[in-house]
Structure 1
Amino acid sequence: MARDYYDVLGVARTASPEEIQQAFRTLARKHHPDVNKDPGAEERFKELNDAYSVLSDPRTRQRYDRFGDDFRQIPEDYDERVAAAAGARGGRPGGGGVRFHGADGAGFDGSGVDFEDLFGGMFGRGGGGGGWGPVPGADQEAEIQLGVEEAYRGGRRGITLGGPHGQRGYDVTVPRGVVDGQRIRLAGEGGHGSGDAPSGDLYLRVRIKPDGRFRLEGRDIHVVVPVTPWEAALGATVPVPTPGGTAKVTVPPDSSSGRRLRLRGEGMPNPRGQDGDLYAEIRIMVPPEPTARERELFEELAAASAFDPRRPR
C-alpha cells in the first residue's frame, strides 16, 4: 500500500490548509531534484507532489480521509449521489443500514440506498458502463528485499507477492546500483481500472538486506580489510572484496587498525551521476596459533622495540 499522505508531508490529520502548504513548501525545497542530488530525491519529490495535490483540495482531501488509498475509485459527487438515492428510496442518514469507514475511522450511513445500483458501474457490475464511466486503477506499493551484491549488479529478478486474490508472480528488472528506499515502477501492475480505464502502477520499495561484509552509507560502501602486523608496519598491496568482485588496495607503511583507505568510484553505481566510493578499514590480525619461529620473532621484536601504544603522543 502507498504511504499515508499525511505522513509524507509530516503533518497531523487535523492540519490546517496553511500548515499543509507550509510543510509542502519546506519539503519541496529540500527534495527538489535541481538542488538535491540524492538518487531518491526525484521519487521523494513526486511523492510530495502527489500528497499535496490531494490534501490541498478540500473535496479531494475529504474523500481521501473517508476512503484512504481507494479514494480515486470514488466519484467526486458521491455525497450528492448517496443523498439523492437515499431520498428516492425514503432513506435517511443514521438509519442503521450499511456503514462505511474511511482512513480516519469516521463513517457514514447508507441506509435505504442500493449501493450496487449506485456504484455498480464502478465496482465491477457492467464493467464501467452506466453510472460513472471508466475509472483508472489505483497505484499500489510493496517491498522488495535485495542483497548488496544484487543491488550493485542489477538484472532480472522474479518475485511473488500476495494479494486479496492469492499470490502472483512478477518479473522485475532491478536497475544497477539501486539503493535502499528507492522505488521500482511496474507500469500497469497496480489496481485494475473499470471498463476500458487503465490499471494503476505497482511500486516496489527497495530494502537492502544487512550484509556481513558490506555496510552501506548512501552509495558509499564500507568493508573491513584484515592485514598482518608486518603488512601494516611495512606496507603491502592486499585484496579487498567489493560487490563487483575483488579489487586491490595499497596499505601504506605504518598503518594502524581503524585507518580507512578510499577506493574512488568502487561503491554503488549511479546511472544518473557519480558512483559511490568504497572505504577499506584496516584491521590488524595476529596469527591465532603462532609457530615457534613466529613466537621467537615476536619476542625479538618486543625486546628490540621501544614502542608503547599506550603512551600519549
Structure 2
Amino acid sequence: MEFKDYYQTLGVAKTATAEEIKKAYRKLARKYHPDVSKEPDAEDRMQAINEAKEVLGDPEKRAAYDQLGQNYRAGQDFRPPPDWDAGFEFTGRGFDGAEADEFSDFFANLFGQAGRRRQHGQGYRMRGEDRHAKVVIDLADAYQGATRTISLQVPEMDAQGRVVTRQHSLSVKIPKGVKEGQHIRLTGQGSPGMGGGPPGDLFLEIHFHPDQAFRVEGRDVYASVPVTPWEAALGASIETPTPAGPVRLKVPAGSQSGRRLRLKGRGIPGQEPGDLYVELTVVLPPADTDKARELYATMARELDFDPRRAGHGRR
C-alpha cells in the first residue's frame, strides 16, 4: 500500500487554512466532477479529491494524519504503525466498512476504525456529541486495576482556520479485568451540549502496550519460558512470571520445546477469567569449557539418541 499525500492531491500547502482547503476543493470539483468533466480519469480523480477533502476538511482527522505523515511522502510503501491514532479524541461514530470502502485502501486502513465524523441531520438534540479516543495501557493494569492520568489531544480550529491541538488530561480508573478493545465510558466528558443541554460522553478504547514477555488473545495470555535440558527431561518445579507476579509451575518429565502448559484462571480476570499458557523452550548450555564439552561427549557416547530416527519425535 502506498502513502497518499492529501495536500498534494488538493494542491495546497500543509499550512493551508480551512478556507483555503475549501476553495481548492471547489476548484478541483468543478474541473473533475464526472457530471461535467470531459477528462478521461475524472471519476478516479474526483474520488481522490473527495477523499483528501474528507481528511483535511476535518480538524480531528487532519491532526492525526499530520502527525502520522511527518516521516512519509507520496507513493512511499506504507503500513500504519500500531496504535498510530492513540491519544486523539474523535467526535461521533466511526466509519463502517461500506462507508470506508468508498475511498482507497489507504483511507480504509487509517480511518475505517479510527476516523470519526460528525453526524448531522439527526434533528434537534440538546445533548452534546459523544467523543472517542484510543488509549494504550500496561497489561498489568488489566490484572490489578489502576488509576492513571491520561493526556489526549483534542484537535480544534483556531481563529485563522488552522488546526491546533489542545491537551486534555484526565484521571481514569482502569477496571480490573478490562480486555483489549473494550470501551470505558466517562460520563459527561464528551462535547458540550447545545442550549444548556448535558454534555456527551467520552469512550476510551483500551489497547495494551506491546509486551516482550506476554501475548494476549482475548482473556487468554501466552508466555514463553526457558527451561534447562535436565528440567525438561527429569521434570522440575520452576518459578515462571505472570502479569500478576511469579508463580510456581510443574514441568512434567519428558517435556520438549514447544510443549504448552495451562495455568487455569491465570489469564485476564473476569467473570470467566482467561487462562495463562506457558510454552516451554529448552535452552542448551554452551559447550564453551572443557568440562561442558566432556559432558556433551559423554552424553553422545552413552545415550542411544538420534532425534532424526523414528520414535524420537516431540512429545
TM-score, with structure 1 as normaliser: 0.59
Q: Distance in 1 between matches of 2:101 and 2:215?
A: 40
> 1:288-303 alignment to 2 at 5 Å?
288=286, 290-303=288-301
2:142 to 140, 151, 157: 151
Per the alignment, residue 279 of structure 2 pairs with 281
Q: Distance in 2 between matches of 1:186 and 1:257?
A: 46
> As a proportion of its length, which structure holds more helix?
1
Query: 1:70 Cα deviation (Å)?
Result: 3.8
SS at structure 1 position matched to 2:149: strand
Q: Distance in 2 between matches of 1:303 and 1:14?
A: 65
Q: Is 1:69 matched with 2:67? A: no
Indicate conservation of the 8 Å contact 2:91/2:118, yes or no.
Answer: yes
Per the alignment, residue 215 of structure 1 pairs with 215
Per the alignment, residue 84 of structure 2 pairs with none
Q: Distance in 2 between matches of 1:13 and 1:283?
A: 43
The alpha-carbon distance between structure 1 residues 5 and 219, as it changes in their structure 2 partners (threshold 3 A), is: same
Per the alignment, residue 135 of structure 1 pairs with 126
Query: 1:294 Cα deviation (Å)?
Result: 2.9
Query: 1:308 Cα deviation (Å)?
Result: 1.1
Q: Give the % identical residues.
A: 42
Instruction: Give the letter aligned to residue 296 of structure 1.
Output: E
Query: 1:2 Cα deviation (Å)?
Result: 5.5
Per the alignment, residue 161 of structure 1 pairs with 152
Per the alignment, residue 102 of structure 1 pairs with none
Indicate conservation of the 8 Å contact 2:215/2:223, yes or no.
Answer: yes
Per the alignment, residue 230 of structure 1 pairs with 230
Identify unmatched segments of 5+ residues in structure 2. 1-89, 103-115, 157-164
Query: 1:276 Cα deviation (Å)?
Result: 0.5
> 1:251-290 alignment to 2 at 5 Å?
251-270=251-270, 273-288=271-286, 290=288
Per the alignment, residue 188 of structure 1 pairs with 188
The alpha-carbon distance between structure 1 residues 6 and 162, as it changes in their structure 2 partners (threshold 3 A), is: closer
Query: 1:3 Cα deviation (Å)?
Result: 7.0
Query: 1:309 Cα deviation (Å)?
Result: 1.1
Query: 1:13 Cα deviation (Å)?
Result: 8.4
> 1:47-62 alignment to 2 at 5 Å?
none
TM-score, with structure 2 as normaliser: 0.59
1:253-281 deviation line (CA, Å, top 9, x unaligned): 111000001000111111xx211100111
Q: Distance in 1 between matches of 2:93 and 2:198?
A: 23
Instruction: Give the letter aligned to residue 265 of structure 1.
Output: G
1:38-72 deviation line (CA, Å, top 9, x unaligned): xxxxxxxxxxxxxxxxxxxxxxxxxxxxx94242x
1:310 to 304, 308, 311: 308
Query: 1:288 Cα deviation (Å)?
Result: 3.3
Indicate conservation of the 8 Å contact 2:92/2:129, yes or no.
Answer: no
Count how many residue pairs are aligned between Structure 1 and Structure 2.
200
Instruction: Give the letter aligned to residue 69 of structure 1.
Output: R
1:227-271 deviation line (CA, Å, top 9, x unaligned): 11111111001111100000111101111000001000111111x
Query: 1:293 Cα deviation (Å)?
Result: 2.4
1:150-208 deviation line (CA, Å, top 9, x unaligned): 22222100011121261121100001121111111110000000233100000001111
Query: 1:306 Cα deviation (Å)?
Result: 1.2
SS at structure 2 position matched to 1:184: strand
The alpha-carbon distance between structure 1 residues 75 and 233, as it changes in their structure 2 partners (threshold 3 A), is: closer
The alpha-carbon distance between structure 1 residues 5 and 147, as it changes in their structure 2 partners (threshold 3 A), is: closer
The alpha-carbon distance between structure 1 residues 228 and 161, as it changes in their structure 2 partners (threshold 3 A), is: same
The alpha-carbon distance between structure 1 residues 68 and 286, as it changes in their structure 2 partners (threshold 3 A), is: closer
Per the alignment, residue 31 of structure 1 pairs with none
Q: Distance in 2 between matches of 1:291 and 1:170?
A: 58
The alpha-carbon distance between structure 1 residues 290 and 3, as it changes in their structure 2 partners (threshold 3 A), is: farther
Per the alignment, residue 206 of structure 2 pairs with 206
Instruction: Give the letter aligned to residue 138 of structure 1.
Output: E
Instruction: Give the letter aligned to residue 187 of structure 2.
Output: A
